[in-house]
Amino acid sequence: MKFAIGVILGLLLFPLLGVLYVTSGRMPAAATDPPMPFEGAIAGVALNARIRRAAPTRNVSGFTTQELVSGADIYQNDCAFCHGLPQQPMPTAAQGEYPRPPQLFTPDGRVSDDPPGVTYWKVKNGIRLTGMPSFEKSLTDYQLWQVTTLVSRADNLPPEVLSSLKPLPSPAIGSSGALALPTPPASKPQ
Ligand code: HEC
Say what the pLDDT of residue 73 is.
Answer: 98
CATH number assigned to the domain comprising residue 108:
1.10.760.10
Domain-embedded: residue 83: yes
Domain-embedded: residue 21: no
Say what the pLDDT of residue 14 is.
Answer: 85
pTM of the model: 0.81
**Phi then psi for 70, rounded to 5 degrees?**
-60, -40
Domain-embedded: residue 120: yes
Question: Distance (Å, rounded) from C-alpha 18 to C-alpha 69?
Answer: 49
Domain-embedded: residue 46: no
Give the residue among 134, 148, 154, 151 at the shortest CA–CA distance from 57: 148
**Phi then psi for 166, rounded to 5 degrees?**
-75, 155
- Look at ligand 1, atom 32, and give the residue with the nearest C-alpha: 123
Percent of the chain whose predicted confidence (pLDDT) is above 90: 58
Quick check: CB of 99 below 6 Å from ligand 1?
Answer: yes
Say what the pLDDT of residue 44 is.
Answer: 82
Say what the pLDDT of residue 109 is.
Answer: 96
Distance of CA 132 from the midpoint of ligand 1 (Å): 5
Number of domains present in the structure of the chain: 1
- pLDDT (mean) for 182-188: 62
- Find the domain containing 95 and state its range: 51-163
For ligand 1, what atom is nearest to the CA of residue 79?
37
Domain-embedded: residue 158: yes
Say what the pLDDT of residue 38 is.
Answer: 80
179 forms beta bridges with 173
60-82 per-position pLDDT tens digit: 999 999 999 999 999 999 999 99
Are 58 and 152 in contact by the 8 Å Cβ rule? The answer is no
Residues 6+ apart with CB under 8 A from 124: 134, 135, 136, 144
Under DSSP, is residue 173 helix (H, G, I), strand (E, B) or coil? Answer: strand
Most ligand 1 atoms within 8 A of CB, residue of 82, 85, 146 to mutate: 82
* Between 21 and 137, residue with greater pLDDT: 137
Distance of CA 52 from the midpoint of ligand 1 (Å): 18
* Between 171 and 158, residue with greater pLDDT: 158
**Cis peptide leading into 99, omega within 30 of 0?**
yes
Question: Distance (Å, rounded) from C-alpha 72 to C-alpha 104?
Answer: 12
